[in-house]
């Protein structure tokens, strides 16, 4: 009993008043001042902020198929260290997560690892090929209970397929998460199209290729009365379109990545492929619009788009390099830097965009809950005064492709409680949560 | 200067120094024995990931006239075509002791990667990367223009810049590394540049470039120009709808016989016609224009060797802050 009991002393709950939290057997048993509990492990949290465990709506764990880039084990270790208690594993594995079998495999790998909830995302179309719906219902009914579907990495560009997918997922309260990228407008695209691409001679990825798909999709979602989620919104124009759609009552949610909140395409002048990502880094005015959109609720959530790659896929010419950046272990710090230190958001807002709303979008039970008595104990402790310098070689992810390498960032995750168990303590990995043995199933 | 990667960051001082050194190199090329001992014992690798016989032999001639050892490394028929990475290729060349790598690559920024990483410590010369830059082409163009412009103005070309010279560059600017390198270098040297192209073949963001942009070649000619540079246009571009047909392209943006006559009619007797080659006769330039006395096409090729000698010499011969030594002195030793 005692080994499952933790008394967190004096943490600022969601950045508010300092209180104690008593965690016992996976549940928040008490919250208040000067709590006491015999035999509890006491954690001094003076100066720390207590937040609900972060829920990532957008993670690439690479397993099955690219275990040289990341595995469920390494990716979820990185997630726990980054303050996450749940991640959505994107479907572009090999084989693609387009059947109940694959999503159940990822689901059980996640349970075996025990660092966070792993919520598989199902592919919208067979093989991400964009022309035939995958068995969405079978994935929804599987043990993985998939609710989010995405061909992420590739846009569901056929308007009829997109319409049907939006309609079909209503049968099981699913959501289609769209990677908005008009393929013809982005053939061979290497970076944001604008002043910098003109100088560098790299094929442009125009903002309109994202915005035109979002505009189409919000209208489709309105027409069929379904739920749409827009992955990694990256342009000021996209923010405007989502704002317009929400004002019309369309059921759309949107996500922004930490890197799009901080970095711009000026970095591409180095031709260092660590800055190559899809959608690409945009301009400073886009960055400002994304921050404003996240602050005013137009953009609902932060999603990392954590995309680890083996080093040989980045140690090459820009055009040859893979797109993607790691993000799980830097997300909290980058959002603190861009949204909290700038005064745009509070820690309570942080909890909304990194935990409460992501869990609602993904329909993740027991995640993104308030830090109240009786709620599941998915809790993190953050030291907002810490400052650290990013060193990709010290990360738990196998990917070394962090665009924040060498950057000093604020905020560190001191502890992560997943189902009441400390997966991270003193900023270090502790032990994974072990699921109780189940007799049947 | 440790590397020559682009003209965008080339200072006026360095640009003039390369051009002045090229003048001295040019004198060597006019002698019976066209060879200097300056880079004896140094190894220059021509690393070509893209076919370009002209540029490669120009660099090869330049390196050999400076007595360097030259290794030609073509991606085709080498381990590169078997999938060897740029990193491994660079490290291989480093292990063999290359002092300079002249790299031509289809990927924009590949020379920057060689220069920025610790894969190889050699001096890197960009011999054309993707649609980014081709700095030695721009330098040889500027060299050609400077000789002409100083002659027109009756001044010594050594030490001169291109202040006041009006240069029009017409063609596929979007895909042209030559255009980019020329825009930056000509701006640095004080020339006034106008880009002329169909709007589809200009990059988004060109409005930030230090030049004028026109969609109308005839208006540009009428406004008065001192040099007309035509860029190569690939006929296949029309398949991607950059323009409707090669004939329509020629009529609107090609330097045809009528426009050649227009130069005379407009009284621009000193205007030169330039082309980096290889030319598509009948597409962006008519044969009459290419072969006219105004054409500097062959002078550009000749000057290319001098400019590349200068670049190799300045990057490889010790303290680059010093002016070129008395080359005629050392040439005597060779003789």
Percent of chain A with pLDDT over 90: 97
Give the model's confidence band at A345: pLDDT under 50 very low, under 70 low, under 90 confident, else very high: very high
pLDDT band for position B51 (50/70/90)?
A: confident
Q: How far is CA B91 from the centre of its chain?
A: 27
CA proximity to A279, closest of A153, A375, A123, A428: A153
Rounded CA separation B288/A66 (Å): 59
Interface test with B, best of A187, A317, A322 (most B CBs within 10 A): A317
**Where residue A439 falls among pLDDT bands split at 50, 70, 90?**
low
| pLDDT of amino acid B29 | 80
Contact across the interface for A318 and B208, Cβ inside 8 Å: no
Phi, psi of A399 (to 5 degrees): -75, 135
CA A229 to chain centre: 13
Predicted pLDDT of residue B1: 85
Q: Do B116 and A270 touch (CB under 8 A)?
A: yes
Q: Given the structure tokens 């063999």, which residue do they identify?
A: B96
A305 is catalytic: yes
Q: A271 and B133: CB-CB below 8 Å? A: no
Contacts of A198 in chain B (CB under 8 A): 203-206, 208-209
Binned at pLDDT 50, 70 and 90, residue B236 comes out as confident
How many whole angstroms separate alpha carbon A205 and alpha carbon B123? Answer: 33
pLDDT on residue B329:
40
Mean per-residue pLDDT over chain A, rounded: 97
Closest CA to B104 of B2, B5, B232, B176: B5
Cβ-Cβ contacts under 8 Å, A314 against chain B:
none
Q: Which of A185, A186, A189, A198 would best serve as a mutation to test chain B binding (most B beta carbons within 10 A)?
A: A198
Domain ranges of chain A: 5-50+374-429, 53-362
Burial annotation A366-387 (CB, 10 A radius, 16+ → b, else e): bbbbebeeeebbbbbbbbbebe
Does the pLDDT at position A348 exceed 90?
Answer: yes
Q: Which CATH superfamily is domain A5-50+374-429 in?
A: Urease, subunit C, domain 1 (2.30.40.10)
Q: Please tell me which residue of chain B has the smallest CA distance to A185.
A: B240
Backbone φ and ψ for B303, nearest 5 degrees, come out as -65, -25
A194 neighbourhood in chain B, CB within 8 Å: 204-205
Tell me whether B187 touches chain A (CB under 8 Å): no
- Mean pLDDT, chain B, whole residue set: 92
User: Peptide bond before A103: cis, by omega within 30 degrees of 0?
Assistant: no
Determine the CATH number of domain A53-362: 3.20.20.140
Mean pLDDT of B33-47: 94
> Mean of the pLDDT values across residues B72-76?
81
Task: State the pTM of this model.
Answer: 0.94
Tokens of A111: 């349970």
pLDDT at site B335: 35
CB contact under 8 A, A195 and B180: no
Q: Do A200 and B206 touch (CB under 8 A)?
A: no
Q: Quick one: pLDDT at residue B82?
A: 57
B-proximal residues of A, 316-345, CB under 8 Å: 316-320
Closest residue in chain B to residue A206, using alpha carbons only:
B204
Please give the share of chain B, as a percent, with pLDDT higher than 90: 84
> Residue B51 has which token pair?
């076919």
Is the pLDDT reported for residue B326 higher than 50? no
8 Å CB contact of B116 and A271: yes
pLDDT at B77 over 60: no
The whole-angstrom separation of Cα B247 and Cα A175 is 51
pLDDT at B321: 41
Has the ipTM of the complex gone over 0.85?
yes
- Nearest alpha-carbon partner for B125 in B302, B290, B314: B314
3-state secondary structure of A437: coil
């Amino acid at each position: 009993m005692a080994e499952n009991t933790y008394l967190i002393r004096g943490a600022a709950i969601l950045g508010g008043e300092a209180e104690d939290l008593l965690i016992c057997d996976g549940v928040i048993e008490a919250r208040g001042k000067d709590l006491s509990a015999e035999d509890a492990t006491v954690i001094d949290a003076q100066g720390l902020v207590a937040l609900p465990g972060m829920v990532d709506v957008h993670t690439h764990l690479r397993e099955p198929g690219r275990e040289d880039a990341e595995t469920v084990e390494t990716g979820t270790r990185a997630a726990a260290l980054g303050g996450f208690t749940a991640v959505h594993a994107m479907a572009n594995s090999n084989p693609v997560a387009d059947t109940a079998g694959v999503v159940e495999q990822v689901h059980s790998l996640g349970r075996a690892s025990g660092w966070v909830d792993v919520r598989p995302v199902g592919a919208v179309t067979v093989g991400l090929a964009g022309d035939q719906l995958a068995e969405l219902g079978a994935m929804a009914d599987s043990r993985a209970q998939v609710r989010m579907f995405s061909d992420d990495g590739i846009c569901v560009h056929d308007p009829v397929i997109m319409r049907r997918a939006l309609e079909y997922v209503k049968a099981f309260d699913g959501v289609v998460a769209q990677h908005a990228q008009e393929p013809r407008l982005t053939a061979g695209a290497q970076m944001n199209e604008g002043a910098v691409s003109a100088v560098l001679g790299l094929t442009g990825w125009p903002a309109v290729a994202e915005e035109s798909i979002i505009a189409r999709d919000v209208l489709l979602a309105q027409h069929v009365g379904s739920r749409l989620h827009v992955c990694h919104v990256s342009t000021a124009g996209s923010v405007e379109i989502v704002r317009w759609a929400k004002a019309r009552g369309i059921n759309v949610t949107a996500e922004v990545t930490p890197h799009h909140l901080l970095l711009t395409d000026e970095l591409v002048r180095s031709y260092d492929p660590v800055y190559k990502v899809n959608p690409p880094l945009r301009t400073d005015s886009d960055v400002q619009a994304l921050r404003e959109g996240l602050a005013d609720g137009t953009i609902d959530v932060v999603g990392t788009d954590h995309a680890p790659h083996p080093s040989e896929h980045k140690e090459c010419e820009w055009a040859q390099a893979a797109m993607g950046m790691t993000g799980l272990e830097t997300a909290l710090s980058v959002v603190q830097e861009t949204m909290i230190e700038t005064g745009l958001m509070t820690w309570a807002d942080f909890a909304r965009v990194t935990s409460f709303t992501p869990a609602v979008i993904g329909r993740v039970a027991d995640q993104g809950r308030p830090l109240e008595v009786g709620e599941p104990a998915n809790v993190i402790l953050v030291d907002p005064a810490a400052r650290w310098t990013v060193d990709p070689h010290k990360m738990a992810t196998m990917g070394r492709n962090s665009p924040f390498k060498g950057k000093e960032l604020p905020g560190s995750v001191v502890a992560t409680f997943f189902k009441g168990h400390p997966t991270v303590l003193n900023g270090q990995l502790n032990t994974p949560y072990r699921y109780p043995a189940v007799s049947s199933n | 200067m440790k590397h020559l990667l682009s003209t965008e960051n080339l200072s006026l001082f360095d640009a003039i120094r390369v051009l002045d050194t090229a003048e001295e190199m040019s004198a060597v090329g006019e002698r019976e024995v066209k060879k200097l001992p300056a880079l004896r014992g140094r190894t220059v690798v021509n690393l070509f990931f893209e076919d370009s016989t002209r540029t490669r032999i120009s660099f090869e001639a330049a390196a050999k006239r400076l007595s360097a050892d030259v290794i030609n490394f073509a991606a085709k028929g080498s381990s590169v075509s078997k999938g060897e990475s740029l990193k491994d290729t660079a490290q291989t060349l480093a292990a063999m002791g290359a002092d300079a790598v002249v790299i031509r690559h289809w990927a924009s920024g590949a020379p920057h990667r060689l220069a920025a990483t610790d894969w190889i410590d050699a001096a890197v010369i960009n011999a054309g990367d993707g649609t980014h830059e081709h700095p030695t082409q721009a330098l040889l163009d500027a060299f050609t223009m400077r000789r002409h412009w100083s002659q027109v103005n009756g001044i010594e070309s050594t030490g001169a810049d291109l202040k006041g010279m009006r240069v029009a560059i017409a063609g596929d600017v979007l895909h042209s590394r030559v255009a980019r390198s020329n825009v930056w270098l000509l701006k640095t040297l004080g020339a006034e540049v106008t880009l002329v192209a169909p709007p589809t073949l200009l990059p988004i963001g060109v409005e930030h470039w230090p030049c004028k942009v026109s969609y109308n070649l005839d208006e540009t000619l009428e406004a008065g120009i001192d040099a007309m540079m035509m860029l190569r246009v690939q006929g296949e571009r029309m398949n991607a709808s950059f323009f409707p047909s090669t004939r329509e392209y020629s009529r609107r943006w090609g330097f045809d016989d009528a426009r050649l006559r227009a130069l005379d009619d407009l009284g621009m007797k000193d205007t030169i016609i330039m082309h980096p080659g290889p030319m598509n006769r009948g597409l962006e330039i008519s044969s009459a224009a290419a072969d006219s006395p105004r054409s500097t096409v062959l002078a550009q090729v000749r000057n290319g060797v001098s400019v590349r000698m200068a670049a190799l010499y300045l990057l490889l011969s010790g303290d680059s802050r010093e002016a070129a030594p008395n080359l005629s002195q050392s040439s005597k030793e060779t003789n």
